[in-house]
Amino acid sequence: MTSRIISQLIILYFLLGIVESCSDFVFLVDTEIDDSPLGRGLQRRRDLVLKAAEQLDLSTGLHRVALIIYGKRPSDELLAGSFDDFATTDEFVQVLKSEFDALLLRNETRRLLPSIGSADALEILLKRVLSKKRMNSPVVVLAFTDGRIRPNEAARLERISAQLSKKHYIHTFAINPEGSISVERLATLELLTNGDKKAIVTSQNRQISAEQKMNDILAPFLSCQKFSKSRILRRKPKVATTAAPRQVDPECLIDVVLLMDFSGGAVDKREKYLNLGAELIKDVKLGPDAVQVAFVRFSGPKRTDTVFHLKKHQNAKNAVFEMLATPSLGGTTRIGAAMLDAFREFDAKFGGRSTAQKVMIVFTDGFSQDDPTDAAVKLYQENIRLFSVAVEDHNLPADFDNLKAIATNLLKMARKLNCVQTRKKGTPGI
């Protein structure tokens, strides 16, 4: 079965988990000189920024960094460097020192543009930086600012911060080294963190310095600990019987969701997708102690349709029969939204098992009106193994970037789904 499936698959991309990467950092640095003598507030900010920067390990590639500088500047270009622009930590530190020194040196002839606020900096992050992030790597946003709000900025800052907070891979921290901060400026720090007070670093608590609190926050990201900002924890179902438990091979306990693009653009590929899906499961043992399969079709906005849930079929032939009889939907294509909708199929009420391995296989050409990257990251954080499958089309080649954003390795999964039959022949499982 495996060889027949693999011979028909034109595109198989393995992405999630192949790169040993750590964190991507974004430094948002407000360089506005405060009203204190000699700009001491900015000097304290400078010291903290440099101490954070010196902890990065850029030369190995485990960490990467982007730099956005705002405030009163001689230029309206806020992006001082993106993720690929700083090869070493020393190089990044030198750029920071140069930026700060140029502002702290008194130069009455230098012309500065009107003050640029945090909302503008976040917009640069959203539009020009995040597209270059690494898959599987958290993005740690460090906003070094005194919290000064610019005129008519609050509503826009709140909107952009809320938009960023919905991205599960982003962790935003607002850092102000001052010990005395006004209520208005604290409110700005809360806007930057979308109301998360624990993500605000100051020196207001005399028992712990801003530097120490910043280091505590950075530690898990610097050491490459793997964790999710939002994790769903499910309780194990209560045992309602005293009968002896059945012997179940955990390697064969798999919940699979087949998600197929039935949009207007894929109407000529529908039959091929169905045949590939049928070939994948037709010889697999289905049931509560083995593999379970759900089938979901999708097209445009709010057009994700579950054909059958995980708990419905315990006979592969019946599952294949119902799947092959499913008509197209037509319309546009929203891969990311469909992936998040299909994620609900792993819920216990539809037959999802807390002890099962969870797999989603997306059959699509990759062309979508939304970006599936955020959805792929969300599912990865929920321990869903993702695969993408496309079929050959000489007239309209598949969108490789979107498929890569979804995919892992289907070859091993094809073997795992057939693990019961394979092991009868003496072949070890994967």
- What is the tens place of the pLDDT at every residue in 167-211? 888 999 999 998 888 888 999 999 999 999 999 999 887 778 999
Write out pLDDT tens, residues 93-120: 999 999 888 877 754 445 555 667 899 9
Task: Please report which confidence band the pLDDT of residue 269 belongs to, taking 50, 70 and 90 as the band edges.
Answer: confident
Give the pair of three-digit tokens for residue 315.
Answer: 């006979």
Collapsing DSSP to helix, strand or coil, 252 comes out as helix
Q: Is 307 exposed, middle or buried (0-12, 13-18, 19+ CB in 10 A)?
A: middle
Write out pLDDT tens, residues 140-150: 999 999 998 88
Per-residue pLDDT, 359: 93
Give the pair of three-digit tokens for residue 374.
Answer: 């955020």
Write out pLDDT tens, residues 249-263: 677 789 999 999 998
Nearest to 341 by CA among 394, 304, 370: 304
Q: Give the separation between CA 35 and CA 155, rounded to whole angstroms.
A: 25
Give the pair of three-digit tokens for residue 136.
Answer: 């599987």
Q: Is 424 exposed, middle or buried (0-12, 13-18, 19+ CB in 10 A)?
A: exposed
Contact yes or no for 313/286 (Cβ under 8 A) = yes
Write out pLDDT tens, residues 283-325: 889 999 999 999 999 988 888 999 999 999 999 999 998 998 8
Whether pTM > 0.85 for this model: the answer is no
Q: Give the separation between CA 378 and CA 314, rounded to whole angstroms.
A: 29
Q: Is 87 exposed, middle or buried (0-12, 13-18, 19+ CB in 10 A)?
A: exposed
Q: Give the separation between CA 185 and CA 90, rounded to whole angstroms.
A: 32
Strands 200-201 and 170-175: parallel
The β-bridge partners of 254 are 291, 357
Domains for the chain: give ranges and CATH numbers.
Answer: 2-18+237-424 (3.40.50.410), 24-222 (3.40.50.410)
